[in-house]
Structure 1
Amino acid sequence: MEYVLKTKNICKQYKRSKALDGLTMNVPKGSIYGFVGRNGAGKTTLIRIVCGMQLPTSGEFELYGVKDSDGGICNSRRRIGSVIETPSIYTDMTAEDNLRQQYQVLGLPDFSGIPELLKLVGLGDTGRKKVRNFSLGMRQRLGIAVALCGSPDFLVLDEPVNGLDPEGIVEVRELILKLNRERKITVLISSHILDELSKLATHYGFINNGRIIREMSAEELEASCRKCMRLTVTDTAVLSTVLDRMGIDFKINDENSADIYAKPNITQLSLALANEGCEVLSLEEHDESLESFYISLIGGADHA
């Protein structure tokens, strides 16, 4: 597998605290990588280091196969577009003028691509409207447009939907999916809004106390958080025997409930249990959310 970003044992020590503690992660090319962690876990610090805004205390990373100690790392960083913490935009200017300003900063002489870029992020009809009159969602999309100046193929977004209303969240989500699917841009998204990430991410890195505690694909996460039928009965010992006989995968939770990882014929199952003197008390669909999965990971990490 080809990786856009690989970090190895990155540490960042401040005077009295350690923001990163041997962080190792791998962002596959073409992925939407969900960088998951609570506030203060080290997400923004890592992003700042990768983007060249801070230096690590120790450790190393590679960007498109170029080590951070190599002089060519500057060229690799030109392939990154980023929105870190808040969008870098001028509120007393129009959306078009903001992009013109960024083009000039990057030394891009031709402004002809600006209308298409504004249309891409859904701001093509804002005209002479000043950014100070934009909604938060519009400002976030403009920030992404600024990050896209220079045609990067790696987009780094730090909490891109934080503070947005539901409509703004949907707009930003659809934009990120469009950039990834149509323009093949690899996206690294740091967030603590886990349910929203689950609608986007193809890969995940879970961070806690400055280190990655687990990396996995969306498919692996779905398998870990797989849907099931939660069955409450009078005797799970009998239930276990019947389910084994039927060849159904299950997990016993306690003496009265079990999770069944299949959709059995309920009538047949109820009759089989009744013949063994076991009564079905309730049946409901159940699945572990990304949030509860993360909490279980953090709980394990904190008590390791």
Structure 2
Amino acid sequence: MEYVLKTTGLCKSYRRYKVLNGLTMNVPKGAIYGFVGKNGAGKTTLIRLICGLQEPSGGEYTLYGTKHTDSKITKARRRIGAVVETPSIYPDMSAKDNLRLQYRTLGLPNFDGLDDILKMVGLEQTGKKKAKNFSLGMRQRLGIAVALCGSPDLLVLDEPVNGLDPQGIVEIRELILKLNREKNITVLISSHILDELSKLATHYGFIDGGKIIREMSADELDALCRKCMRVTVSSTAILAKVLDNMGLEYSVIDDTHADIYAKPNITHLTLALAKENCEVLSFEEHDESLESFYLSLVGGVVNA
């Protein structure tokens, strides 16, 4: 598998406080990588490091195979577009003028593609309207448009839907999916709105205490969080034998609890268990969300 970003044992300290403490992560090419963690876990610090806004205290990272200590890292960073914390826009300028200024900053020879970017983010009709008069969602989309100048391969978004209303969230979600699917842009996205992130991400990295504690694909997460029927019985050993005979998929949790990955005929199952002297104590539908899975990893209250 090809990776656009790899970090190995990455550390960042401020005096005695370690924000990143040996962080190792892998962002596959073409992925929408959901970066999940509590406030203070190190998400924004990692983003600032890979964008060249800060230097690590230890460890290393590579962008497109180029180590951060290599003289070519500046060229590799030009393949990144980023919106870190707040969109980098000029409020007294129109959307088009904001993009023109970014083109000049990047040293691009002309304004080719500028109108296409505005159309991509849905701001082609804003004309001379100043950015300060945009809605919050429009300003966020303009920030992404600025990040797209220079045709980046990797888009880094720090809390892109923070503070948006439901319509604004949907617009940003559709834009991210469009950029990923139509432009083949890899996206690294941190968000504390875990339900929204689950509608986007193809891969996840869960960070806690400055370390990645789990990396997985969306398919792997779905398998762990799949809907099931949780049953409590007097003996899961007997339950397993009965379920095997019925051809049902299941997983045993402990001596009295198991998950059945189907909707069995409860009457038939109960009667079959009764014949084996196994008592059924309860049935309940069970569906673990991204939020509950995250809490099971790190504990505490979600405050990503």
User: What TM-score results when the alignment is normalised by the length of structure 2?
Assistant: 0.91
Give the corresponding residue for 1:62: 62
Give the corresponding residue for 2:84: 84
Matched letter for residue 4 of structure 2:
V
Instruction: Map residues 141-290 of structure 1 onto 2, 5 A cutoff.
Output: 141-231=141-231, 239-251=239-251, 258-276=258-276, 283-290=283-290
Matched letter for residue 272 of structure 1:
A
Q: Which sections of structure 2, spanning at least 5 residues, go unmatched?
A: none
Distance verdict in 2 for CA 1:60–1:257, change over 3 Å? closer
Partner Cα distance (1:101, 1:292) in 2: 44
Give 1:126 shift. 1.1
Give 1:233 shift. 5.9
Tell me if 1:140 matches 2:140: yes
Distance verdict in 2 for CA 1:138–1:61, change over 3 Å? same
Partner Cα distance (1:113, 1:21) in 2: 41
Partner Cα distance (2:252, 2:220) in 1: 22
Matched letter for residue 223 of structure 2:
A
Partner Cα distance (1:234, 1:10) in 2: 48
Matched letter for residue 107 of structure 2:
G
Distance verdict in 2 for CA 1:235–1:140, change over 3 Å? same
SS in 2 for 1:168: helix
Partner Cα distance (2:135, 2:105) in 1: 25
SS in 1 for 2:163: coil
Partner Cα distance (2:176, 2:63) in 1: 21
Give the corresponding residue for 1:3: 3
Task: Tell which deviates more after alignment, 10-19 or 144-153.
Answer: 10-19
Give the corresponding residue for 2:96: 96
How many residue pairs match? The answer is 300
SS in 2 for 1:33: strand
SS in 1 for 2:151: coil
Q: Deviations over 1:164-185 (max 9, x none)?
A: 1111111101100000000000
Q: Which sections of structure 1, spanning at least 5 residues, go unmatched?
A: none
Partner Cα distance (1:253, 1:118) in 2: 52
Give the corresponding residue for 1:18: 18
Tell me if 1:118 matches 2:86: no
The CA RMSD over aligned residues, in Å, is: 2.2
Partner Cα distance (2:226, 2:83) in 1: 33
Give 1:267 shift. 4.4
Give 1:225 shift. 1.3
SS in 2 for 1:119: helix
Partner Cα distance (1:69, 1:254) in 2: 50
Matched letter for residue 79 of structure 1:
R
Give 1:112 shift. 3.6
Give 1:240 shift. 4.6
Give the corresponding residue for 1:106: 106
Distance verdict in 2 for CA 1:252–1:72, change over 3 Å? closer
Q: Deviations over 1:151-173 (max 9, x none)?
A: 01110111111111111111101
Task: Tell which deviates more after alignment, 195-204 or 144-153.
Answer: 195-204
Partner Cα distance (2:272, 2:255) in 1: 18
Q: Deviations over 1:211-243 (max 9, x none)?
A: 111111111111111211123568767645532
Give 1:244 shift. 3.9
Distance verdict in 2 for CA 1:98–1:62, change over 3 Å? same
Matched letter for residue 230 of structure 1:
R
Tell me if 1:47 matches 2:59: no
SS in 2 for 1:187: strand
Partner Cα distance (1:114, 1:230) in 2: 54
Partner Cα distance (2:30, 2:96) in 1: 29
SS in 1 for 2:292: helix
Partner Cα distance (1:198, 1:74) in 2: 32
Partner Cα distance (1:187, 1:50) in 2: 13
Q: Deviations over 1:76-121 (max 9, x none)?
A: 0000000000000111111111111111111123224221111100
Q: Deviations over 1:22-69 (max 9, x none)?
A: 111111111111111111100110111100000001111111111111
Partner Cα distance (1:140, 1:55) in 2: 27
Distance verdict in 2 for CA 1:41–1:277, change over 3 Å? same
Partner Cα distance (2:106, 2:237) in 1: 69
User: What TM-score results when the alignment is normalised by the length of structure 1?
Assistant: 0.91
Identity of aligned residues (%): 73
Give 1:287 shift. 1.1
